[in-house]
Amino acid sequence: MINFHTPVMCSQVLNYLITKKKGIYLDCTLGGGGHSEEIIKEIYPDGLLIGLDQDIEALEFAREKLKDYQDKVIIVKSNFTDLKILLQDLGYKQVTGVLFDLGLSSYQVDNKPRGFSFLEDNFLDMRMDLSKQFDARYIVNTYSEKELWEIFSKYGEERFSRSIARLIVKERKNKQIETTKHLAKLVTDVYARYKKNRWHIHPATRVFQALRIEVNDELNTLKRALKEAVKMLEPQGRICIISYHSLEDRIAKHTFKEMANKDNLKLNAYGVRILSKKPIYPSENEIRENRRARSAKMRVAEKIFPEEVSEK
């Protein structure tokens, strides 16, 4: 079996997420099923695991990986923004814990035809959900210069966003930008113009991150999904979010803060208590063994109701 993805911060996830064995746990980013496998091993046969992903290749892989526990595992293709409808359709009103392990799996990054990486030359795709039409090639070749620099600066925090957008628009008048290497070269040319030839990270990293977020509408989806997930948690149920860049982490932090606020509690009749005052990081050992873990941060919160605020 190929190594689809190595799950990050497994022991911390299990410690925070699992509050009882006889619970229902929702893995919103099933990927290769790494976290899910650890969760189901912990709760089987008392509990139930529901795993979802929008990527059919991930679902196929995870289904195989979790087959020994299949009587207590439900795997569904879905975007996590639809988690409430999904749970209701499955007949569950509440869950005990929800996990989000954001971003891409190693398989998605390394699997060449998906076009997420500039290290190989591939078609500019970047869709996590292969049934969707909207891909990175469409954005790069049709968005206006202003739209391009806006997404590069907003989603990539790219300091040369205007120059990169200008060069893209100029280039595509002569030749459509179809491949990852073509786009990466344009970005590198802009950096070279500013005499930025020595990089800490590859110059195309931020532009590729921005395109990926735009293609998959990642940040808007996340904001909605976190609130829906808290809504579906049972009392004292936990939500864990692992993020890999500051934009995702900011959404997790602000959404938790907003939901922990007393006014929110009065308004919605439920909210959260934040269990991770500071983000939780992987150990140095884990970072040494798994490079992907180096940018991971986890935040955890617990569902509460107004009466609990005065009690604790």
| Residues of this chain that bind ligand SAM (CB under 6 A) | 5, 7, 29, 31-35, 52-55, 58, 79-81, 101, 103-105, 128, 221
Q: Are 33 and 55 in contact (CB under 8 A)?
A: no
Q: Measured between alpha carbons, how far is 298 from 240 in angstroms, rounded to an integer?
A: 7
Q: How far is the CB of 35 from ligand SAM (least distance, A)?
A: 4
Q: Decide whether 104 or 184 has the Cβ nearer to ligand SAM.
A: 104
Closer to ligand SAM by CB, 164 or 242: give it: 242
Q: Could you write out the DSSP letters of every residue in 137-194?
A: HHHHHHS-HHHHHHHHHHHH--TTHHHHHHHHHHHHHHS---BHHHHHHHHHHHHHHT
Is the CB of 141 or the CB of 221 nearer to ligand SAM? 221
Backbone phi and psi for residue 24, each to the nearest 5 degrees, phi listed first: -110, 125
Q: Which is nearer to ligand SAM, 5 or 206 (CB)?
A: 5
Q: How far is the CB of 258 from ligand SAM (least distance, A)?
A: 20
| Shortest-Cβ-distance residue relative to ligand SAM | 31
CA distance 201 to 284: 21
Could you give the 3-state DSSP secondary structure of residue 309? Answer: helix
Q: How far is the CB of 180 from ligand SAM (least distance, A)?
A: 18
CB of 129 to ligand SAM, least distance (A): 8
**Which residue number, 119 or 219, has a Cβ lying nearer to ligand SAM?**
219
CA distances 5 to 1, 2, 28, 65, 285, Å, are 11, 9, 16, 12, 18
Q: What's the min distance (Å) between Cβ of 187 and ligand SAM?
A: 24
